[in-house]
Amino acid sequence: MGVSIFSGMVTTIGSSMFLFLGKILLFEKFAVIIVSTAAMSFLTSMLFFGATMHTFGPQYNWGNLLVCKCCMAMNPLEEEKQIQDLEEKLELEERQPKNIYDMM
């Protein structure tokens, strides 16, 4: 992910460098805005966003936005518990006699 963000910043700043060579003041100011926006976006995405996701990102049951039983795929621990319960029920059903001759 970092390589594509870095490449986007380099190409944006590289293309705006031609605006610095212009003689019109508007072009120079526009180049400053583009370069500063690209640099701040890169720093925010590489430093702040990564640290925020490491601190508040979804881990186990914490940080999940969906908290309903229909969205079990979002909660791996709950899904594993549900699978174990289903396996136990299946074992009980397999032990039950299938017909009247099995009971004799």
Q: pLDDT at position 32, please? A: 95
* Residue in this structure with the two tokens 């944006």, named with its chain if needed: 12
Is the same domain home to 65 and 32? Answer: no
Overall pTM > 0.85: no
Mean pLDDT along residues 75-81: 69
As given in the structure block, the two tokens for residue 53 are 């996701």
65 and 98 together in one domain: yes
Q: Inform me whether the pLDDT recorded for 65 exceeds 90.
A: no
The reply to whether 17 and 49 lie within a common domain is yes
Residue 34 is part of which domain span? 1-57
* 53 and 92 inside one domain: no
Are both 42 and 74 inside the same structural domain? no
Verify that 19 and 68 share a domain, yes or no: no
Q: How far apart are CA 31 and CA 101, in angstroms?
A: 87
Condensed to tens digits (0 to 9), the pLDDT of residues 34-55 reads: 999 999 999 999 888 888 887 8
Are 40 and 76 members of one domain?
Answer: no
Please tell me the total count of domains within the chain. 2
Task: Please give the Cα distance from 10 to 38 (Å, whole number).
Answer: 9
